[in-house]
Structure 1
Amino acid sequence: MNFEIFDTDYITIIFVKDKLNYTGREIEPLWAFKVFNVQKDNIVVFRGKMEVPIDNMKDLKDIKREKDIDIPIKSDDAINFVIEHFDNIDLKTIYLRQRLLVCITKEIIEDNCNLKLRRDGDDLYYNNKKLSVCIACKGIVSSKIHLGINVKSKGAKHIEIIGLEYLGIKDIDKIMKDIAIKYAEEINKIEKDIRKTLPLY
């Protein structure tokens, strides 16, 4: 697999140059170590189809819905961000990091298309059409986040989706890199702020 690795102070960025599909297996612990030999906190960025079978889903609401009406998480073309943090945090903190990632994504996409997106929790919409999917979860050794953003406006059957191309964004690689770099910068700044702040007495 063809990829580039960029190390920052507290998190490693891995840009995958080849097409890689997201199946839900990538959110399992130590995936970046198994595939890219990276043991540090990391964010892996790649583009490909997105189709998550029920066995790989982590959101109980999605699992119950899938059982009832056969609705997979699916996109014909998407950019994906899979993040892994190894600090011993609770599930609430990893969800806060997830929201940070989504807010960064919203800001970068809006800056590149001059359109206003709507954020509802961890989901992004334009004209009530769904642009993204996102999940955060916690395991024994690490916490993980997946964010998938549609590039093309097709693939899902149960809901109207919209893609970056419809929003007028042509340089998809730039969007991928900008989001990953900005997230890494924010994590690095937070870690440095922790290390300079005196405690309350």
Structure 2
Amino acid sequence: MKLIKLEPGLKYDGSQIKPMWAFQSLGVKGSSIVSWIGPMNVQPDELIDYEDVGLEIKSDEMIHFIIEHFDAQPADMRLCYHRQRILIMIVQDLLQEIGIKTHRKGDDLYCDEGKLSVSVATCSASSMKIHFAMNLTSQGTPKKVKTVGLLECSTELDIDEISKLPDKISKTYKDEIQDIEEDIAKTRVF
């Protein structure tokens, strides 16, 4: 699995969840995790989750992750959702390590009562895709949703720690998936 960290500034608009985005936009072939810091504004025609229809999905600044797996053919929606939850639990553990206590409801993380993250999982004929993002601040988020950003969850968190967080999350996720693959390869079946 390839780990790619982009320069800050790319706006997540929903098009990045489409299959083969990393290959078509960045030349990255195969399973990958692409991370970056940037705004988000998903237009209604780019929504994937039917529960989100009619909602505003936006933020001025977030840490984004786009994960694409090609290892199951045909792509498996259930496996994709399991991997999404693994990612979110990894993020929750790593945030705890830097002093940010969160609680999880499904595929969302909350700090106190504020919604910290957004996420979606989907499949195409050839791959499984996950988008996960966390607010850095609550600026630019929908008025109808109580949101919070990482910088508002901790007064001790600085930009240096934030810039290291995507790398640590990506590597930990990659290692977890690899560890599962190694466990499968060493287990006798009947």
Normalising by structure 2, we get a TM-score of 0.93
1:155 partnered with 2:145: no
Point out where structure 1 has 5 or more consecutive residues left out of the alignment.
1-10
Quick one: which of 20, 24, 28 aligns to 2:10? 20
Q: TM-score, normalised by structure 1?
A: 0.88
Kindly report which structure 2 residues correspond to 1:81-96, keeping only aligned pairs within 5 A, or say none: 81-86=65-70, 87-88=72-73, 89-96=75-82
Query: Is residue 29 of structure 1 aligned with residue 19 of structure 2?
Result: yes
Paired residue secondary structure (1:49) = strand
Deviation at 1:40, TM superposition (A): 1.3
Cα distance in 2 for partners of 1:138, 1:132 equals 21
Structure 1 Cα separation of the partners of residues 51 and 138 of structure 2: 24
Q: How many residues align?
A: 183
Q: CA deviation at 1:116?
A: 2.0
Identity of aligned residues (%): 38
User: Which one of the candidate residues 125, 128, 132 is aligned to 2:117?
Assistant: 132
User: Do structure 1's residue 180 and structure 2's residue 170 form an aligned pair?
Assistant: yes
The answer to whether residue 183 in structure 2 is matched with residue 193 in structure 1 is yes
Runs of 4+ in 1 over 6 A off after TM superposition: none
Runs of 5+ consecutive residues of structure 2 not aligned to the other structure: none
Q: Tell me the SS of whatever aligns to 1:185.
A: helix
Q: Which residue of 2 aligns with 1:51?
A: 41
* Cα shift readout 1:75-121 (whole Å, capped 9, x = no counterpart): 11000000001122421110000000000001111111x24211000
What's the secondary structure of 1:116's corresponding residue? coil
The CA deviation at 1:25 is 0.2
The match for 1:77 among 47, 51, 61 is 61
Match for 2:64: what amino acid?
N
